[in-house]
Amino acid sequence: MTKPLMARATAVWLVDNTTLTFKQVADFCGMHELEVQGIADGDVAGGVKGFDPVANNQLDPMEITRGEADPLYRLKLKFNAAAVGEEKRRGPRYTPLSKRQDRPASILWLVKFHPELSDGQISKLVGTTKPTIQQIRERTHWNIANITPVDPVALGLCRQSELDAAVQQAVKKKAADGVVMSDDERRKLVSTQTSLGMAPDARMPDPTADFVLSAKEEKPADYSDAESFFNLPDADDDEDDDDDQLVR
């Protein structure tokens, strides 16, 4: 188990009884930082009674002291051998009622930008059903004309680490199946941080490059001698010389 029991109630208690930052509380409780800020503002978890993680042997008081002294410190949950493997779940994740209307937008985003993800992976990421995913893939969803793709991480439906793990799993599966990926597909199949660190793609050769190169290779006229430049023969002068020779 990587997060405390009754995570939202624990977050309420930490916000009310400590000076920890929203980021520290969010990381400890497995929530989004904006959700913790909503708890502090009273917009989220209204009426939820705080759950003391210290009294319930889930957090050491020294961890709170260290966290309050250092805003970058990450609280560590007490190890409980009986809770090992408890976080494993089967089937799609539970999505709160307030966020269920955002699922079609997140599904469309995943289908558009990560087509390599299977229906089962998308179902686990955003907590939906395979028929809904299939309808959005085939654009037969009843509200498809009004759906705008939105990142599920931005909507709080899943974590960036979970999305990256699913994408990396898709990479391994494609590699095992021997599927050759293009540069664009390979860039999509990595996390955001990894993609930003990649070298720019090689550009296709320009068919006019040889022509431009040959034009650049031509040697310009030599005008280093100023007298020769200003004393160029004139076409009219040549004609006059020819006439003089005829008269003679």
Q: Rounded to a whole number, what is the largest CA-CA distance in the chain?
A: 127
What confidence tens digit (pLDDT) does each residue in 55-101 have? 888 888 899 999 999 989 998 888 665 555 545 555 556 666 667 78
Q: What is the mean pLDDT of residues 113-127?
A: 89
What per-residue confidence (pLDDT) applies to 224? 54
Q: What pLDDT digit, counting tens, does each position of 180-238 carry? A: 555 555 555 544 455 445 454 433 444 444 444 444 455 555 555 555 555 555 545 55
Q: Quote the pLDDT of residue 182.
A: 57
* H, E, C per residue of the chain: CCCCCCHHHHHHHHHHHCCCCHHHHHHHHCCCHHHHHHHHHCCCCCCCCCCCCCCCCCCCHHHHHHHHHCCCCCCCCCCCHHHCCCCCCCCCCCCCHHHHHHHHHHHHHHHHHCCCCCHHHHHHHHCCCHHHHHHHHCCCCCCHHHCCCCCHHHHCCCCHHHHHHHHHHHHHHHHHHCCCCCHHHHHHCCCHHHHHCCCCCCCCCCCCHHHHHHHHHCCCCCCCCHHHHHCCCCHHHHHHHHHHHHHC
* Whether the predicted pLDDT of 243 surpasses 90: no
CA 36/CA 71 separation, integer angstroms? 15
The yes-or-no verdict on residue 105 having pLDDT over 50 is: yes
Does residue 171 carry a pLDDT above 90?
A: no
Place of tokens 């009884």: 17
Is residue 110 scored above 90 in pLDDT? yes
C-beta of residue 111 within 8 angstroms of C-beta of residue 122: yes
Q: What percent of the chain is modeled with pLDDT above 70?
A: 62
pLDDT (0 to 100) of residue 46: 75
Residues above pLDDT 90, as percent of the chain: 19
Single-letter amino acid, residue 64: I
Q: In the predicted model, what is the mean pLDDT of the chain? A: 75
What pLDDT score was predicted for residue 186?
54
pLDDT recorded at residue 153: 87
Q: Look at 29-33, 47-51, 104-108, 195-199 and tell me which has the smallest mean pLDDT.
A: 195-199
Backbone angles phi, psi at 43, to 5 degrees: -90, -20
pLDDT 10s digits, 19-41: 999 999 999 988 888 888 888 88
What is the spatial distance between Cα 153 and Cα 126, in angstroms, rounded to a whole number?
9
Q: How far is CA 190 from the centre of its chain?
A: 9
